[in-house]
Chains A and B, each alone.
Chain A
Amino acid sequence: MNDISQNIKKVLVVFLICFMGVMSYIAYFQVLKADEIVESPYNKRLQAKRNAILRGTIYDRNMKALTKSKKINTLNQERSYVAGEVFAHALGYINPKYGMTGIEKQYDSILIGSDTMDIGKFLNSITEKEDKVGYSLRTSLDYNIQMKAFEMLGNNKGSVVALNPQSGEILAMVSKPSFDPNNLEKNWQNINSNKDIPLYNRAILGLYPPGSTFKIVTAVSALENINGVTSRTFDDEGVLVFNQKETLKNFNGAVYGNIDLKKAFYKSSNVVFGTLGMELGNAALKETSEKFYFNKELENTDFTSKISRFPTLNKSEKGNMAQCGIGQGQVLASPLEMAMVVAAIANDGHMMKPYLVKDVLNEKGDSIKKTKTQELNQVTTAENAKLIKEYMALTVSEGTGGNAALNSVSVCGKTGTADTGKPNEAPHSWFVGFAPKENPQIAIAVIVENGGVGGGIAAEISREVIREALKK
Chain B
Amino acid sequence: MNSKDYEKKLLIYTYIFCVVCFGNLSFLGWPKESIDTTAAIMGLIVCGLIAYGHFIIRKFFPDGDKYIQIFACILTVIGIVMLYRIDSTSALKQVIWFTIGIVSFILIVVILPDLKRFARYKYFYLICTIILMALGTLLGQEKHGSKNWIYLGGFGFQPSEFGKLFLVAYLASALKKYEHYKDLIEPAIVVMISLGFMVLQKDLGSALIFFGISVTMLYIATSKLKYVITCFVLFAAGSFVSFQLFNHLRVRVAIWKDVWAYANNEGYQVVQSMIAIASGGLFGTGLGQGHPEWVPVNSTDFIFASISEEMGGLMGFAIIIMYFLLFYRCMRAAVYAGDRFSALLAVGYSSMIATQVLVIVGGVINLIPLTGITLPLISYGGSSMITTFFALGVLQKISEEVIRRE
Residues of A within 8 A of B (CB): 1, 3-12, 15-16, 18-19, 22-23, 25-27, 29-30, 33-35, 37-38, 40, 42-45, 48, 127, 129
Cβ B272 vs Cβ A127 within 8 A: no
Residues of B within 8 A of A (CB): 31-32, 216, 219-220, 223, 260, 263-264, 271-272, 274-275, 277-279, 281-282, 290-291, 294, 313, 316-317, 320-321, 323-324, 327-328, 331, 334-335, 340, 343, 347, 351, 354, 357-358, 361-362, 365, 367
For the complex, what is the distance from the CA of A27 to the CA of B312, rounded to whole Å? 12
Task: Knowing that A18-B358, A23-B317 touch, tell me 11 more A-B residue pairs with CB under 8 angstroms.
Answer: A1-B343, A3-B223, A8-B334, A9-B335, A26-B277, A30-B282, A40-B263, A42-B264, A42-B271, A45-B290, A127-B31
For the complex, what is the distance from the CA of A19 to the CA of B272, rounded to whole Å? 23
Cβ A11 vs Cβ B291 within 8 A: no
User: What would be 14 A-B contacts, judged by CB atoms less than 8 Å apart?
Assistant: A8-B220, A8-B343, A12-B327, A12-B331, A19-B320, A22-B358, A23-B317, A23-B320, A26-B365, A29-B277, A30-B313, A33-B278, A42-B275, A44-B291
- Which of A22, A29, A37, A43 is the most central at the interface, judged by chain B CB atoms within 10 Å of its CB? A22
Cβ A16 vs Cβ B220 within 8 A: no
Q: Of all chain B residues, which has the CB nearest A12?
A: B331
For the complex, what is the distance from the CA of A12 to the CA of B334, rounded to whole Å? 11
Cβ B263 vs Cβ A129 within 8 A: no
Cβ B282 vs Cβ A45 within 8 A: no
Q: State the Cβ distance, A205 to closest chain B Cβ, in Å.
A: 35
Q: State the Cβ distance, A4 to closest chain B Cβ, in Å.
A: 5
A residues less than 8 Å from B278 (CB atoms): 29-30, 33-35, 37-38
Cβ B279 vs Cβ A38 within 8 A: yes
Cβ B279 vs Cβ A45 within 8 A: yes
Cβ B282 vs Cβ A12 within 8 A: no
Main secondary structure of the interface of B (DSSP, over half): helix
For the complex, what is the distance from the CA of A25 to the CA of B219, rounded to whole Å? 27
Q: State the Cβ distance, B136 to closest chain A Cβ, in Å.
A: 27
For the complex, what is the distance from the CA of A12 to the CA of B365, rounded to whole Å? 24
Cβ A11 vs Cβ B358 within 8 A: no
Instruction: Tell whether A8 pairs with B294 under 8 Å between CB atoms, given A19-B358, A22-B367, A26-B316.
Output: no
B residues less than 8 Å from A11 (CB atoms): 216, 219-220, 331, 347, 351
For A34, give its contact among B281, B324, B335 (CB under 8 Å). B281
For the complex, what is the distance from the CA of A8 to the CA of B216, rounded to whole Å? 9
Q: State the Cβ distance, A70 to closest chain B Cβ, in Å.
A: 19
A residues less than 8 Å from B327 (CB atoms): 12, 15
Instruction: Tell whether A37 pairs with B275 under 8 Å between CB atoms, given A11-B220, A44-B291, A44-B294.
Output: yes
A residues less than 8 Å from B294 (CB atoms): 44-45
A residues less than 8 Å from B347 (CB atoms): 8, 11
Instruction: Tell whether A15 pairs with B354 under 8 Å between CB atoms, given A23-B317, A23-B320.
Output: yes
Q: Of all chain B residues, which has the CB nearest A5?
A: B335
Q: Of all chain B residues, which has the CB nearest A33?
A: B278
Cβ B313 vs Cβ A38 within 8 A: no
Shortest 4 CB-CB contacts between residues of A and residues of B: A34-B278, A37-B278, A7-B220, A30-B313
For the complex, what is the distance from the CA of A42 to the CA of B351, rounded to whole Å? 36
For A12, give its contact among B279, B320, B328, B358 (CB under 8 Å). B328
B residues less than 8 Å from A4 (CB atoms): 220, 334-335, 340, 343
Q: State the Cβ distance, B307 to closest chain A Cβ, in Å.
A: 12
A residues less than 8 Å from B316 (CB atoms): 26
For A25, give its contact among B272, B357, B367 (CB under 8 Å). B367
Q: State the Cβ distance, A51 to closest chain B Cβ, in Å.
A: 12
B residues less than 8 Å from A12 (CB atoms): 327-328, 331
